[in-house]
Amino acid sequence: MGIYFILYLKKRYLIIFFQVVFIYLQTKNELIMENYVVEGSKTTPSILLDFTGYLKFSGRSIHEDPDKFFNPIVDWIKDYCANPPVSETTVDVELEYFNSGAAKFLLSILQILVKNLGEDHKLIINWCYESGDDDIMERGEYYSSLLDKKFVFTEID
């Protein structure tokens, strides 16, 4: 009986060990980021958040409820910054218009990136504006000064 009891304990501990390993691997797999993509509309911007380090905001942003739209984006950005999968991040902002609610969230997103990506991480922010659109250009300059981060400004036709 003694040998059977020892084999039973070994088998039981082995099962527990594999259960713990399985739970660990499952948890680790859940930490792998997925891209976040939103197709734009007349009132919402196109969003591409790619875990390979490319983030793009384009179009118009005039939401009725910016919290509902931007909160998942802010969460994704925070997760990305907590453990960036690459050493360089490029942000393209190509918004033709955005209201005050969207402006608040856009600044918040940029603040999270600037504050939380380490000094060894290269962050490039490209701010694009239409030719003659001084409002969007000046908003980019204002954000650049607030964040104490140099933006790359590009005028597009």
Question: Do 92 and 124 touch, CB atoms closer than 8 A?
Answer: no
pLDDT value of residue 103: 98
pLDDT value of residue 118: 83
State the Cα–Cα distance between residues 101 and 88, nearest whole angstrom.
28
Residue 77 lies in domain = 35-156
pLDDT beneath 70: ranges in the chain = 1-32
pLDDT value of residue 65: 93
pLDDT value of residue 20: 45
- 101 and 66 in one domain? yes
Q: How far are the Cα atoms of 78, 84, 97, 143, 157 from residue 33, in angstroms, in the given order?
A: 11, 10, 29, 28, 35
The total number of structural domains that make up the chain: 2
- 51 and 23 in one domain? no
pLDDT value of residue 89: 98
pLDDT value of residue 16: 54
- 51 and 14 in one domain? no
